Chain A
Amino acid sequence: MREPGVALAGAIERDEGGLAIVTCPDLDLREWLVREVESLVPTSAQAFRTSSVREALDRPECMALLIPVDEAEVVRELDACRDQALEPPRTQPIVLFLLRDGDGHRTLAVEAPSAWSWASGSDVDPEKLAELDVESERASFRDETGAMPEEWLARWRRHELPRTPEHYARTFWAFTLERP
Chain B
Amino acid sequence: MKITDDSPPVLSALDRPNSYIGRSLPRPNLQRLTQGRGQYVSDVTLPRMAHVAFVRSPHAHARIKSIAADAAKKAPGVIAVVAGAELAKVMTPWVGVLTHLKGLKSAPQFPIAVDRACWQGEAVCAVVARTRALAEDACELVEVTYEELPAVTDPETALDAKTPVIHSALGDNLCFERKLDVGAVDKAFAESDAVVETTFMFGRHTGVTTEPRAVVADWNAGEQRMTVYHGTQAPHMMQNLFAKHLDLAEHQVRVLTKDVGGSFGIKVHTYADEMATVALSKLLKRPVKFVADRIESFVTDIHARDHRIKAKIGVNNDGSITAFEIDDLTGIGPYSVYPRTSGIEANQVVNLTGGPYTCPNYRAQARVVFQNKNVMCQYRAVGHPIAVAVTEGLVDLAAAKIGMDPLEIRRRNLIADDAYPTQLAAGLKFEKLSHHESLAHLDSMMNYAGLRAEQKKLRQQGICRGIGFASFIEVTNPSAAFYGVGGARITSQDGATVRLDAQGAIIVHSGVTEQGQGAEAVLAQCVATSFGVSIDKVRVVTGDTDHTPYGGGTWASRAAGIGGEAAWQAGKALRGNVLAVAASILQAKPEEFDIRNGIVVDKVKGTERLPLDELARVAYFRPDTLPPGFQAELMATRHYVPRAWPFAFTNGIQASYLEVDTDTGFVKLLKHWCVEDCGTIINPQLVDEQIRGGVVQGIGAALFEQCLYDERGQMFNGNMADYLVPMAVEMPDIECGHVVSPTADSEFGAKGAGEAGTAGAPACVMNAINDALRPLGAKALTDMPFTPDKILRALGKV
Chains A and B are bound partners: no
